[in-house]
Structure 1
Amino acid sequence: MNYALCSEQTALSRDVVKWLQSLALSVYPKNVRRDLSNGYLLAEIFSHYYPRDISLNLYDKGVSLSAKQKNWSQIQQFMKKHNLHLLKEAIDGTIHCKPGAAELLVQEAHTILTNQRAADVRCREVHFSDEEYQKQLPSVARSTASKAIKNNLTATEITAEPDICTNQRKAQVILRRHLQLKADEKILNPERFQVKRNRNQLAAELPKGSSQDEEYCRIPSSGKTGSNSSTRTGTSDSFKEIKVNQPVRHSLLDY
């Protein structure tokens, strides 16, 4: 899952932070990923612009999966009524506390409600995963394949979508991304992984005109070869003919 229109880092942009502070929310989102997961805070944000259409009494402040799904269902009905759009994938990522999803959702809400985009928002593709965090860690501290799946496929995500095939596809995507990260790391640090270079890579590193290069490119010399000698890679080997006298066997018919 790739999405654009996000800040370069997972933190909110300066314009969005000032905008949230101006709304005087009941709870300021210190941890955006956690505080926006149940949808109540986003409903409170929209209620400042649509006070007659959103009743906060109907929203649950709980953190259970059922409470989150109920709140977000009401938010989606409200947005459909007013022809407003938020990325469904970003909503799902926010519910399951995926990295970068809640930040992207708040940025999009800011654009919808204020009709302006944050000044320091840059367009680039991101994944709702911990890939950026893993790249910042030393190689020895990065997650294994099983840990990567556990970090990026949450328990609530499996509960919300219990279909085994769907979750297997998600795990395969996570595993493929993890293996690609490992492959890139091997290219950058071949000594650490003891990667053996093939003959083509070694030949490409040799300086031009070196004796070793000539040895690789040596062509056997052409010439006539006799029955008792052969030429191989510039050297000739002579063969001496040896005659062996075998005893004559007589048959009984000779007598």
Structure 2
Amino acid sequence: MNALPREVLKWLQSLDLSISVKNPKWDFSNGYLVAEILSWYHPKEIKIHCFNNGTSIQSKLLNWNLLETFFKNKNYAIDRDVMEGTIHCKSAAAEVLVEQLYTTLTNRPTYRLTPRNQTFNDLSYQSKLPLHARATASTAIKNNLANTELETGPDTSHLMSKTQHIISLHQQHRQSQRLQDPDRFGIKPTLGEIRPKMKPESSQNDRNGICQSKQGRKSRPVSANRVPENVQFAEIKVKQSGRDLPASSMDQIKGQIHNDMFGTYQPAHSMGQFKRLNYHDIFRIDGTYK
């Protein structure tokens, strides 16, 4: 009873139930006390003689089928997972069910310092145990999967998905244990963990110098690129061949070309001598014949 808030306990005691609530996990599993609570608020719709106060799985299923139909007709916010957890006596499922009934029937919220976990497993209990006493994978399946679930499961695939979910939660819990106590599992630190995380000073100084140089370039004034006024430039003249020749030289070249075209040009050297001559021996720099 310590798991229920104080206002919920006072509310249950005010209803004057036929069975004293000592352990919600077992007292609310068959649904008889839930039907008795609802009969106080809906006496015409809930007849207590229609419910069986037995402990067999058949009695539980019959009672909860009637209750589920009533919840759907009234649009009460009672989760299906909470009802299944209460039927199979899951951890904290009955407490969540009673709190939801209290909020729905009285329109008053419940106050808790810490939010309640609605996964309905024993991970919170296992985390409080020492490492050597915590459950293995097979023990986790046994603790979180009741025998009544195996009897009333809709099909094999549904049970397999539940089992796989329990195993995945157990693996996550084991990985957190390895991080908490690596010496117990013989985990050696990696090379990246052994290596110090400090950077060498030289690279840091070089980086600072580069940053400073970049900042200097960015902050350079525009006037630095301008030419001072007192600087004078000398004009450079380039003589190009064939373009700046005098008129007399041009007339001489035209006459030589005319004589060559009409066969009147007589070379100053013989053919044998001409073969031994180079290009520079025949022509000048300006392109005229020597």
Q: Place the TM-score, normalised by the shorter chain, in its bin.
A: 0.7 to 0.9
Measured against aligned partners, the alpha-carbon deviations of 1:181-201 in whole angstroms (never above 9, x if no partner) come to 010011011111111111111
Q: Is the 8 A contact 2:93 2:118 kept in 1?
A: no
Distance 2:96 2:32 in 1: 17
Q: Is the 8 A contact 2:17 2:36 kept in 1?
A: yes
Q: Is the 8 A contact 1:40 1:59 kept in 2?
A: yes
Instruction: Indicate whether 1:187 and 2:179 are aligned.
Output: yes
Change (3 A) 1:72 1:119: same
- How far residue 127 of structure 1 moved from its aligned partner, in angstroms, is 1.4
Aligned to 1:30: 22
Larger helix share, 1 or 2 = 2
Aligned to 2:126: 134
CA root-mean-square deviation: 2.0
Which residue of the other structure, out of 111, 114, 133, is the alignment partner of 1:119?
Answer: 111
Which residue of the other structure, out of 138, 155, 161, is the alignment partner of 2:147?
Answer: 155
SS of the residue aligned with 1:193? coil
Instruction: Indicate whether 1:173 and 2:156 are aligned.
Output: no
Change (3 A) 1:131 1:105: same
Distance 2:93 2:127 in 1: 18
Distance 2:146 2:117 in 1: 22
- How far residue 58 of structure 1 moved from its aligned partner, in angstroms, is 0.8
Distance 1:124 1:106 in 2: 13
Measured against aligned partners, the alpha-carbon deviations of 1:19-66 in whole angstroms (never above 9, x if no partner) come to 111111111221101110100011111111111111111101111111
Letter in 1 for 2:37: I
Letter in 2 for 1:196: K
SS of the residue aligned with 2:109? coil
TM-score (norm 1): 0.74
Distance 2:155 2:14 in 1: 43
Change (3 A) 1:92 1:179: same
**28-37 or 124-133: bigger deviation:** 124-133
1:1-80 → structure 2 map (5 Å cutoff): 11-80=3-72
- Bigger RCO of structures 1 and 2 (CA < 8 A, at least 6 apart): 1
Measured against aligned partners, the alpha-carbon deviations of 1:70-124 in whole angstroms (never above 9, x if no partner) come to 0011111222222323101100111011111111010000000100111336545
Aligned to 1:234: none
TM-score (norm 2): 0.65
Letter in 1 for 2:15: L
Aligned to 2:267: none
Distance 1:178 1:18 in 2: 37
Aligned to 2:88: 96
- How far residue 148 of structure 1 moved from its aligned partner, in angstroms, is 0.2
Change (3 A) 1:83 1:26: same
Q: Is the 8 A contact 1:12 1:103 kept in 2?
A: yes
Distance 1:44 1:122 in 2: 29
Letter in 2 for 1:174: I
Letter in 1 for 2:4: L
SS of the residue aligned with 1:104? helix
SS of the residue aligned with 2:184? helix
Distance 1:164 1:79 in 2: 28
> Gapped runs of 5+ residues in structure 1?
1-8, 210-255
Distance 1:117 1:163 in 2: 37
Letter in 1 for 2:105: L
Q: Percent identity?
A: 41
